[in-house]
Structure formats: structure tokens, C-alpha cells
Amino acid sequence: MKLEWGAYKHFPYEKELALREISALIGKNIHFGDDGHVFADAKDVQNAQLLTYFASVSIEGQSHETLQQKLERSASGGSRRQSTRYSVHGLHEYRGKFNPQVCRALMNILGVPENGLLLDPFCGSGTTLVEAAHRGIRSVGTDLNPLAVFIANAKLNAMRTPAEHLIDALQRIVDRENAVGVPSEDNARHHYLCSWFEPDILAQIERLRVAIGFEGEHIASFFLVVASNLLREFSLQDPADLRIRRRPTANAKVVFSSSFEAASVEAIRRLRAAQDVLKPSRALGRAYLKDNRELSGLELPELADAAITSPPYATALPYIDTQRLSLVWLSLLHPKEISQVEADLTGSREISPQAKREALEALENNAAGLPNEEWELCVGLQSALTDSDGFRRKAVPTLLYRYFKQMRQTFRAVSSFVKPDAPFALIVGHNHTVLGGTRFDIDTPRHLVSLAHSVGWGTEEVTPLQAYQRFGLHSSNAVQAETLIVLRNRLPLR
């Protein structure tokens, strides 16, 4: 059997994952042809078609496109770039999104069975859950960001909704938009939105929301997500800035409703193309608004066969803050709740003065009982602080201590929701900080492994994923982007 690589240039780690997928799906007996193609001594075309990084499989003179190739082609036409926006993946921006191909490859490598159950405790906008559904695997995700949960469920629901229904609904929404009345509001939500949108733009956005609201829940959530993804561009927040920066005018040259219509048509086109490949309504997945440090109450049909996630880093991205317009517009958060929810996230940089005092005390006494290595790292950072460090830097050692404690709680909680011996894969980056003028590298993967061990997980592998500028000519500019950790649940069934 001859395996032909996908048309884009693969990172070294993608090639490595690709070979591991071959071993997991069709057997270990492979060799390389002069043209770089891979030959496998195998006959299982169906399994070979599940490979992530190959475009086709040829056997006995017949070529079969892989499922992944069909999906990617459906979104990007003949582009020679890796598509990450196929199916519903491109519905909404989300910071720290998983690369969908990595998710899919991991499911293959870990051997998650078709119709098995997969858990993503930091599911964000649902990349793992969507990829699981593409593979006929059931999934459950948790996230503390209500917008993440809303987006993830909108994607999963859209996959089960025939694209034709969405096309009809879009027409109804557009027809309705100029006829609907918007009830007047005098509340915190309205005042908040008034402060971030020019009056005529806000009127358009609100009319659209009312027009969408006539549709059933699944259809409405799809269009609300499409609209939400456009909000920042039409607001007084500078969309180019990760942090919130106000600009004098929204500078919008097009009307909101035209952008909404164009974005909806494109989103439905991609969905329809994916549905043509996958057939609608495959495996079920669902995201829950839940803190993964405390998963009791999460109802799973059974223990999960595996968990896959990309956790936040210490001093993580401001997931809530950057999305606050959407959170308030969709009534997912009251404006006053924004900073609290941000502070609740694992790895948050936000910490109240009182929480900071408590965290500092905990650090000094190792009140959380962290393993020595992690404790000593935080104590070392604390003692490296000098007067030249501003208040954000001064908080880093305590925030790191809190992050380690939180991640250990997550490891403990997840172990009760996956089967004994089940794998837990995490994609994690490195981190560094500068304190007292000195740079400190934080080997987050190594510390996460240590924390996981301390609550009963075993380690199967810690593999650096080598990447380089995908379109650069020289692999000499290789960088280690992230690390793959695979843990095994060593805890007996409880």
C-alpha cells in the first residue's frame, strides 16, 4: 500500500506523528520510497483512510482519498496550505485553539475506539470535541469560560443540523432583520454595550440578535456565534490588540449585516462540504460549563477511554477579557462578573489583593503540599524578585504556585473520570519569566508531569514537538513549539 503525503509542507513533529499513526492503525511494517512516499505492508484501506497527514492511499492500482484530505479539501479548495478551518473549526476565533490535525492524530495514536468516549477538561472552543465527532467518537468537554462552552456546543449542534436548514434560516433572519423591533433596555448589559459600540452599529447588532432569536436553539446558536465572531471588528475595541485598547471610531466601512450574511454563507458552505464527506449526525459530543478542578456532578455515560487537552499556561492568556463583548452581548456574563470569572481560570494573571496575600502565605509554607521541585522553583523565583520588578512581575511566583496547585487539582479530578489505565494526552508549551533582570525558563511540561505523578498518574511519554517556519526553506530555524505529554491513569477504579 502506498501512502501519499498531504500537499503541504509537514513539520518534523507532524511526520513523526504520521508514522506513529501508521503503526497504530495499519501496522509497523513500512519503508520509504525515493520520492518520500511511504509504503506499508498492509491491506486495511479503511483504517489507512483514517490517517491525518496523508492525502491518499493506493493499493492494487486504485487510489483512495483519506477522510482528512476530503475534509480539508472541502474547505480550502486546491490550497497547498494545511487547512485548520474545515468543517465547523473556523466558526469563531479562540485564543490558544488546538491544531485540529494534532487532535485527530492523537486519537489515532492513543487508539480511542470508534464510539468510545473522550474527555477534554479544558475544551475551549471545542476542537477536540469536533474532531472526535468527525471520527465517530463520543466526547465530553468542560470549560469555565461560558463563551467557549457556547461556541463548542454551537459547533457540535451545527454538525447535526443539515446545512440546507441553515440556508433557509439565514434567509428568514435576513428578511426579518429590518422588520423586528428591539425592546428598549436600561440595564448594565445595555450600558456596557453602549460604551463599546457606536449607536447605529449597536442598533444593527441588536436587531440581528432579535431576528436570530426567532429560530430554534440549535440554529440560533450557530448564527449568534457567527455574529459574535464579528463583534470586535465593529466595536470601539482595537481588534489588533490582545489586550483591550479603545479606539476613537469603529472605522467600519461595511455594514454589520452584510458582513454577517457573508460570514454565514461561508460558514454554511464549509459545514455543507464537511457534511457531504461525513454525513450529518454522527457521534454526540457536549461541552459543560464547569471548573475541571471539581468535576463531581459531571454526568458521563461511562468512564472515558481517554482524555486529550491543551491546558492554559501559568499567567495564561486573558480568555475572558478578550471576549468580553461577546460574553455580554450574548448575556453569558453580567459585566460585573467579567473580572471574577477571569480570576477563577486556571493560570489566570488576575488575583485580588486578598487572594494574593493568601497565595503568598501558601507559597511560603507550601500549604498545598506540592512536590519539592515545584515548591522550590516558586520559592527561588520569589527570592529573585527585586525592587525593579513591577507589580505584575512581583505576582509571578505566587501565580505560578497557584497554577501548579490548580493543575494538580485537575489531574486528580480527571483521574476519577477516565478508565483505569486510560491515557491522558496534553499539549503544553514552555514558558519563561524575567525577574530581577534575570531570565528564568519554566519547563512547564516537566512540572506538570511531576504534579500528575504526585496524584497517581504514570508517565508514558514526554515528546518535544519540533516545528519550524512552515513555509521557510531551511529546517535550521527549527524551534521547539510544544511538548506532548501522555500520562496513564494508575488509579484503581473508584
Binding interface with ligand SAM (CB under 6 A): 94, 96-98, 122, 124-125, 127, 142-145, 148, 291-293, 310, 312, 319, 345-346
Q: How far apart are CA 390 and CA 436, in angstroms?
A: 10
Which of residues 69 and 292 has its CB atom nearest to ligand SAM in the complex? 292
Shortest distance, position 112 Cβ to ligand SAM, whole Å: 16
Shortest distance, position 147 Cβ to ligand SAM, whole Å: 9
Residue nearest ligand SAM (C-beta atom): 124
Shortest distance, position 317 Cβ to ligand SAM, whole Å: 7
Which of residues 25 and 327 has its CB atom nearest to ligand SAM in the complex? 327
Shortest distance, position 310 Cβ to ligand SAM, whole Å: 4
Amino acid at 353: P
Which of residues 127 and 161 has its CB atom nearest to ligand SAM in the complex? 127
Which of residues 127 and 315 has its CB atom nearest to ligand SAM in the complex? 127
Shortest distance, position 116 Cβ to ligand SAM, whole Å: 19
Cell of 158: 451545527
Give Cα 211 to chain centroid, integer Å: 29
Which residues, in sequence order, are CB contacts of 309 under 8 Å at separation 6+?
A: 120, 121, 122, 123, 128, 424, 425, 426, 427
User: Which sign, positive or negative, has the C-alpha torsion 443, 311, 307, 25?
Assistant: negative
The two beta strands, 285-289 and 138-143, are parallel
| Helix (H) or strand (E) run with residue 267 in it | helix 256-278
Give Cα 436 to chain centroid, integer Å: 34
Shortest distance, position 122 Cβ to ligand SAM, whole Å: 3
Q: What is the DSSP string of 197-228?
A: S-HHHHHHHHHHHHHHTTS-HHHHHHHHHHHH
The two beta strands, 38-40 and 30-32, are antiparallel
Shortest distance, position 191 Cβ to ligand SAM, whole Å: 26
Which of residues 83 and 292 has its CB atom nearest to ligand SAM in the complex? 292
**Bridge partners of 54?**
5
Q: How far apart are CA 204 and CA 200, in angstroms?
A: 6
What are the CA-CA distances from residue 66 to residues 52, 111, 292 (Å)? 8, 18, 35
Which of residues 104 and 207 has its CB atom nearest to ligand SAM in the complex? 104
Which of residues 108 and 322 has its CB atom nearest to ligand SAM in the complex? 322
Kindly report the CA angle at 69 between 65 and 70, in degrees rounded to 5?
A: 80
Which of residues 150 and 196 has its CB atom nearest to ligand SAM in the complex? 150
Shortest distance, position 321 Cβ to ligand SAM, whole Å: 11
Give the gyration radius of the chain's Cα atoms: 24
Q: How far apart are CA 254 and CA 69, in angstroms?
A: 35
